Every structure is written in structure tokens, then in C-alpha cells.
Amino acid sequence: MTQAAALEWTSRLGAVAAAVAALELLWVRRALADDGVFAWPVLRRELAPAPWIVRALADRALSYRGTLAVLGVQLAAALALPWSTSPLPAWLVLACSLAISIRFRGTYNGGSDAMLLVVMLALGIARSAPDTGGAAAGLAYVAAQLVLSYFIAGIAKLREATWRTGRALPLLVRTPHYRVPAWAAATLSRPAIARWAARSILAFECGFPLAFTHPAACTALLAAGAAFHLGNAIVFGLDRFLWTWLAAYPALIYWVDRATG
């Protein structure tokens, strides 16, 4: 894959990821209102020690109306991302995602929000400095973060006895807030299937650095990763992870092709 193709596919898939992130929060916008679960008058108390200018800016940008405006800008920038070579849409998505993370004192949707920041930072750098090696550096950063995201997650799971014995997935599907479909819960509660699935996930995540060894290995591992995230989207409702991680895949393909070509 050429550098231009990698950036093009990153922008397309990143646009979907950013749009889905904005639309999901707009869908549950009542939770962000002043009488909602994530009311700004409650969250803003943590900024009490901050300088007045910071509090004033936060009140303007992270209030209920301000948050809706930020989400609207993110959605518009996401829609423009694949059609424009300007760095502005990428930087806008980055800024909006960062603002939303500040509002939630971290990330609203965990690792998918963090990976979206990684992808948008790389795109912003690549489009701001296209003739200075910025594009290659941005794609390298995304590829490294992608590999580390799987490998570190795999090592963390490997240290847990519940994953090594296959008891982790039956416990996860019984967690109420995931609302796992009955058929999936019944399937993953079977000991033999749970063990096979858990060990497959461990092998995939811990072995992901092998993607750097050969383009065929990279293709196989990315196919497994796409299937893994699609399964998580269907079973656990983690659809943001699917699009955000897919947006990082072209960077790894580019660097593996470059290193082994």
C-alpha cells in the first residue's frame, strides 16, 4: 500500500469512526442535560481550583448547549474529512474529541476515544506537513499504537487466571450493562467454547507483533482483528471500537509493505 492510499483509507475510516462517536452522544443527549446523568453543573465542580479563565471557557464549551455544538462541529468535520486534503477537519475532530474527553474526565467510550485521538493527530500532522516526512511519521505513530494496543491487552489478559482458564467470557456476558443477546450469552457460557474463544483471543493479541514479519502475516492478523471487533460490536455493542481500530489498519499495512517490500 502506498503512503497516499494509506492516508486516504485512514481518512475514510476515521471519518466513519468520528461520525459514529458524535452521533452516539447526540442520540443520548438528554443524559448530558443539566438534569441528566452527566450534568455539567455537577462535573464542573472538579474545576473549582482552576483559574477563572479556564472555568469560564469550560462553562461555555462544555455546558449542555456547548457540548451539543462541539458534537455538531465534530460531525461536520468528520463528514468533510474524506473529501478535503486540508488538515483542518482532522484538527477539528481532534479538538472536539479532546473537549468531550475533558468533559467526561477521561474518555466516554474508553480505548476507542483514545485511538480516535491517535488517528486524528496522525492525519493532522500528515496533512499539515505533507512534504516533510510528516505523513510517514504520523502513519508510524498510528501503526505503533495499534500493535501496542493489542499486545499490551493480550499480556494483561494472560496474567489473569480467568482468561487462561476460559472463565472470563462467561463472566463478561453476564455483566448487566452490556445487554448481551441471549444467544451469545448461552453460546459463550459453554465451557468448551469459552475456553477456545479466550485462548484464541490471547493468541491473537499476544502474537500481534508478528504482523511486522511479513505482509501475509499482517493480512491474516488484521483479518482476525476485524473479525474480533465485529464480534465485540455484535455481542457487546462496542461498535465504536470496530470503526476506530479499522481506521488504524492502513497505517500498519503501509509500514509492513515498506519494511518488507
Which has the closest alpha carbon to 217: 157, 168, 259?
Answer: 259
In sequence order, the 6+-apart residues with CB closer than 8 A to the CB of 202 are: 154, 157, 158, 163, 164
Cβ atoms of residues 194 and 188 within 8 Å = yes
pLDDT of 219 reads: 95
Using a pLDDT cut of 70, give the percent of the chain over it.
98
- Compute and round to an integer the Cα radius of gyration of the chain: 20
DSSP assignment, residue 178?
G
Which of the residue ranges 117-121, 144-148, 180-184 would you say has the lowest mean pLDDT?
Answer: 180-184
Question: Where in the sequence is the domain holding 191, given as residue range(s)?
Answer: 3-260
Cβ atoms of residues 228 and 113 within 8 Å = no
Cβ atoms of residues 119 and 244 within 8 Å = yes
Interatomic CA distance for residues 70 and 81, integer angstroms: 16
Domain count, the chain: 1
In sequence order, the 6+-apart residues with CB closer than 8 A to the CB of 136 are: 3
Which has the closest alpha carbon to 61: 100, 91, 113?
Answer: 100
Which has the closest alpha carbon to 221: 238, 245, 204?
Answer: 204
- Per-residue pLDDT band for 124 (boundaries 50, 70, 90) equals very high
Cβ atoms of residues 218 and 143 within 8 Å = no
pLDDT digits (tens, 9 = 90+) for 130-161: 777 888 999 999 999 999 999 999 999 999 98
Q: Which residue has the cell 482458564?
A: 165
pLDDT digits (tens, 9 = 90+) for 14-30: 999 999 999 999 998 89
Residue 106 has pLDDT above 70, yes or no: no
pLDDT of 107 reads: 57
The whole-number average pLDDT for the span 199-203 is: 93
pLDDT of 155 reads: 95
User: How many helices and strands in the chain, by DSSP H and E?
Assistant: 13, 0
Which of the residue ranges 1-15, 171-185, 200-214 would you say has the lowest mean pLDDT?
Answer: 171-185
Residue 8 has pLDDT above 90, yes or no: yes
